[in-house]
Structure 1
Amino acid sequence: MNEIRVVVADDNPVVRSGLVALLESTGEVTVVAEAGDGRRAIELTERHRPDAVLLDVRMPLLDGVTAAESLSKLTKVLMLTYTDDPEVIRSAVRNGASGYLVHGSFTAEELAAAVRSVATGSQNPLSPVAVTALMSAVRGGAQLVAGPRQERRDYGLSARETEVMDLIAQGLANREIAGRLFLTEKTVKNHVNRIFAKLATENRAAAIARWLGTESESR
């Protein structure tokens, strides 16, 4: 993918302008439209069909978490917000967000890499605070996915797939998992694809949410 086309949605014009300038300065990203609320973000995404939408959580008319449900059916959604509330993170992932970054936890280079990985579907970036919030929510008894809780063994993951999924839940990329388990990156990718199929998810963020929301065999 040579050019990554994105829509930026944030109700704060100063933050939005800063993001646009930051993204376009990378030379990899073109901002095709800007929105100040969730409804406008959906309209512009339907019109421009970008590779990804960068979406704030708290916006007027239609908030980002609610908008993510419709937007995720049109393109990739990367939540980019100051909100680190566990319930909000959980809801955003459940509504189809492919990543969740909290302002202040990434550099300009890391943001560009996150947008690229979301747009291409290669990874699903989560800020450390987002991963921690998801895990804390589970430890507190909250459910990350809709429907009845399941035990992890119900998904039918092999021992190796379980190892891989546990490392995914810690935020490791395929290359890091390969190094940790002494596997090739291609082998890890194959495991990840099988894991997604068994968990009935399409991306890392959703898989983490589902995995952390299940009962472990040790419980």
Structure 2
Amino acid sequence: MDVPRILVVDDNLVVRSGLVSLLESSGFEIAGEAGDGRTALELAERLRPDLVLLDVQMPLMDGVQAVRALSALTRVIMLTYTDDRQVIRRALEGGAMGYLVHGTFSAEELTAAVRGAISGVHALSPAALSRLVGLPSRPPADEPAAVPSASGPAPPDPDAFGLSAREAEVMRLIVQGHSNGEIASRLFVAEKTVKNHVNRIYAKLGVTSRASAIARWLGTAEEQERW
């Protein structure tokens, strides 16, 4: 089995070196490194890595500007300190397979997200997901999470999209980052059944990918926007 090849893109040399060390010790091959989006595109076109770990705030071309072109070449996970809701939305609509916010996941969770993305599984860190739905990322242990305020996105309404109760249940699990196999195990159905549900969900939401489905479901997609 081929060793997955990763392109690491971050303008902070210390962060980039740490990621390279972690990935190499976890069995990945580093295809290359870049400190800006423009160089990342050049390297991705030439090296064809299996996945790009992409920062947001960089010189010359930032990650949000680069993600659409990069995602046309390979899979991309945003890995950044930026947890702004609009930035997350734009990255996902640009084709990112996942969005991880530094400080909110472990090394094991990062490597699992990388392996999952290479296999086609989307990944959102809790901090990124909470920003999309307008909830605090870490509510106190003895208090329930607050519901979105009037100024934030409303809770998804399955009826608004014509989803059945089971399709809505599958969609909620997709948002939580579960793969089709994991959803099948949770719902005690065959994985093929889950795939059928997912295909119907895509058709009803008018999307063709998990990232776009999540953005549409959470009310963060702007239908007329083009990147």
One-letter amino acid of the structure 1 residue matched with residue 166 of structure 2: R
Whole-Å Cα distance in 1 between the matches of residues 207 and 46 of structure 2? 27
Instruction: Report how many aligned residue pairs link the two structures.
Output: 206
Q: Which residue of 2 aligns with 1:208?
A: 214
Whole-Å Cα distance in 1 between the matches of residues 118 and 203 of structure 2? 20
8 A Cα contact 2:122 2:177, kept in partner: no
One-letter amino acid of the structure 2 residue matched with residue 7 of structure 1: L
Gapped runs of 5+ residues in structure 1? 144-150
One-letter amino acid of the structure 2 residue matched with residue 36 of structure 1: G
Q: Which residue of 2 aligns with 1:146?
A: none
- Give TM-score scaled by structure 2 length: 0.80
* CA shift for structure 1 position 156: 4.6
8 A Cα contact 1:131 1:171, kept in partner: no
Whole-Å Cα distance in 1 between the matches of residues 220 and 126 of structure 2? 20
Q: Which residue of 2 aligns with 1:129?
A: 127
Whole-Å Cα distance in 2 between the matches of residues 85 and 180 of structure 1? 31
**Alignment partner of 1:205: what SS?**
helix
8 A Cα contact 1:10 1:35, kept in partner: yes
Do residues 49 (structure 1) and 55 (structure 2) align? no
Bigger mean CA offset, 55-64 vs 95-104: 95-104
Whole-Å Cα distance in 1 between the matches of residues 118 and 208 of structure 2? 14
One-letter amino acid of the structure 2 residue matched with residue 21 of structure 1: S
* CA shift for structure 1 position 42: 0.3
8 A Cα contact 1:124 1:203, kept in partner: no
1:23-75: CA deviation from partner (whole Å, max 9, x where unpaired): 01011x11111000000000000001111110000000000011001111111
8 A Cα contact 2:51 2:76, kept in partner: yes
**Alignment partner of 1:6: what SS?**
strand
Whole-Å Cα distance in 2 between the matches of residues 53 and 34 of structure 1? 10
> Cα distance 1:106–1:214, how it changes in 2: closer, same or farther (>3 A)?
closer
**Alignment partner of 1:59: what SS?**
coil
Whole-Å Cα distance in 2 between the matches of residues 171 and 140 of structure 1? 26
Bigger mean CA offset, 177-186 vs 202-211: 177-186
Do residues 75 (structure 1) and 74 (structure 2) align? yes
**Alignment partner of 1:84: what SS?**
coil
8 A Cα contact 2:8 2:20, kept in partner: yes
Whole-Å Cα distance in 2 between the matches of residues 180 and 6 of structure 1? 31
Whole-Å Cα distance in 1 between the matches of residues 64 and 51 of structure 2? 15
Q: Which residue of 2 aligns with 1:17?
A: 17
Q: Which residue of 1 aligns with 2:194?
A: 188
Gapped runs of 5+ residues in structure 2? 136-147, 222-227
Whole-Å Cα distance in 2 between the matches of residues 39 and 152 of structure 1? 40
**Alignment partner of 1:54: what SS?**
strand
Whole-Å Cα distance in 1 between the matches of residues 48 and 205 of structure 2? 28
Q: Which residue of 2 aligns with 1:88?
A: 87
> Cα distance 1:155–1:62, how it changes in 2: closer, same or farther (>3 A)?
same
**Alignment partner of 2:189: what SS?**
coil
One-letter amino acid of the structure 2 residue matched with residue 75 of structure 1: T
Give the counterpart of 2:168 among 162, 165, 173.
162
* Identity across matched positions, percent: 62
Aligned CA-pair RMSD? 2.4
1:56-109: CA deviation from partner (whole Å, max 9, x where unpaired): 000000000110011111111100011111111011111111100111122222
Bigger mean CA offset, 178-187 vs 3-12: 178-187
Bigger mean CA offset, 74-83 vs 176-185: 176-185
